Amino acid sequence: MIGIIGGTSLGQALGALGGTTTTVETPYGLPSAPIAVTSVEGVEVALLPRHGVGHTTPPSAVNYRANLWALKKLGVTHVIATTAVGSLREEVHPGELVIPDQLIDRTHRRVGTYFDELAVHVEFSHPFCESMRTVFKASAASAGVTVHPRGTYVVMEGPAFSTRAESDLHRSWGADLIGMTALPEAKLAREAELCYAAVSLPTDYDCWRPHDGGREALLQEIRNNMAKATAAAMKLVRAALPQVAKLVGTPCYCQTALDDAVFTDPKAISPAVRARLELLLKRRLG
Ligand SMILES: [Zn+2]
């Protein structure tokens, strides 16, 4: 099954697709919302609005561990995440889409791992599933939307947007996008051996670029472009879904990420920890 985590605006658009909702318990509590299982483009999907029904949960408070765990528990192997972002590049226009390939972590008050009770160090040089990224890029033409094939995404804590100095700093690092949610989501997906890729929706130019109309113009720009970006993302997701479904069952690095990553001697892992993390560890440890 394919999971779709819908970000700002798209979470609501996905809700309109309906489906049978199920409340999934996890060791970390409940995910952002009950998960709706339905068929989209002939593919069985599990839909989860990242910010909850009615957009009640801000980025820092999202229960990322519960969200990924719940999808894995339902049998999801591939996760499509959508994220609203600001553009740090003139050529990445609001309303277009980006398939990010890199992340820079500027979050500081989120739990970013399932493995606090044993030493597990996953390889993370390429934080997104390359197989899924290839599918998204190839689906752009049939979706009829403009898709930028790569981008470095800075994940900030928020909830306030950047200062001008921060926005300039992120650009000087070579970053292309600024957002608040792709981490720790991508790290947790790798730890859970899920293929995970993002479709980013630039809604604005952040504050590095002068906005006509004063300081409130940035927020107006975000609101004005949200519907256009959401419509484009829905087109791309629909076009890509049947191709993503074809990846299910084919080997991918993401799905064996724990093979060399468990540094703790398995004999030293307590039965209680093993039982709690069984969903993640059973493939690797038996
Ligand atoms: Zn993968």
- Separation of CA 40 and ligand 1 centre (Å): 21
For the chain, report the end-to-end CA distance as a whole number of angstroms.
Answer: 23
Pairing mode of beta strands 35-40, 43-49: antiparallel
The DSSP bridge pattern shows strands 2-6 and 43-49 to be: parallel
CA distances to 19, 64, 65, 171, 258 from 237, in Å:
17, 21, 24, 28, 28
Catalytic positions are 204, 206
Q: What's the 50 CA to ligand 1 centre distance in angstroms?
A: 21
The CA 214 to ligand 1 mean position distance, Å, reads 44
Radius of gyration of the chain (CA): 18
CA-CA distance, 33 to 47, in Å (whole number)? 9
What's the 130 CA to ligand 1 centre distance in angstroms? 6
Residue 215: CA atoms inside 13 Å, Cβ hemisphere, count? Answer: 4
- Tell how far the Cα of 213 is from the centroid of ligand 1, in angstroms: 44
Report how far residue 119's alpha carbon sits from residue 283's, in angstroms, rounded to the nearest whole number: 17
So what's the pLDDT on residue 272?
Answer: 96
Q: Give the predicted TM-score (pTM) of the model.
A: 0.96
User: Residue 87 in contact with residue 176, Cβ under 8 Å?
Assistant: yes
Reported confidence tier of residue 286, pLDDT bands at 50, 70, 90? confident
Contacts of 36 (CB under 8 A, 6+ apart): 14, 15, 17, 18, 19, 20, 21, 22, 46, 47, 48
pLDDT of residue 211: 77
Structure-token pair, residue 190: 């790798």
What percent of the chain has pLDDT above 90?
A: 87
Domain residue extents for the chain: 2-285
Return d(Cα 117, Cα 21) in angstroms, integer.
Answer: 32
Give the pLDDT band (50/70/90) at residue 8: confident
Backbone angles phi, psi at 100, to 5 degrees: -65, 150
* Amino acid in the structure at residue 250: T
> Cα separation of 35 and 108, whole Å?
28
Cβ atoms of 151 and 200 closer than 8 Å:
yes
Residue with tokens 């996760």: 79
Q: What is the pLDDT of residues 95-108, one digit of tens each?
A: 999 999 999 999 99
Instruction: Give the β-pairing of 2-6 and 102-106.
Output: unpaired
Judged against a pLDDT cut of 90, whether residue 258 lies above it is answered with yes
Max Cα–Cα distance, the chain, nearest Å: 64
Instruction: Mean pLDDT check: name the lowest of 17-31, 163-177, 205-219.
Output: 205-219
Q: What whole-number distance in Å separates Cα of residue 240 and Cα of residue 248?
A: 13
Instruction: Classify domain 2-285 by CATH number.
Output: 3.40.50.1580
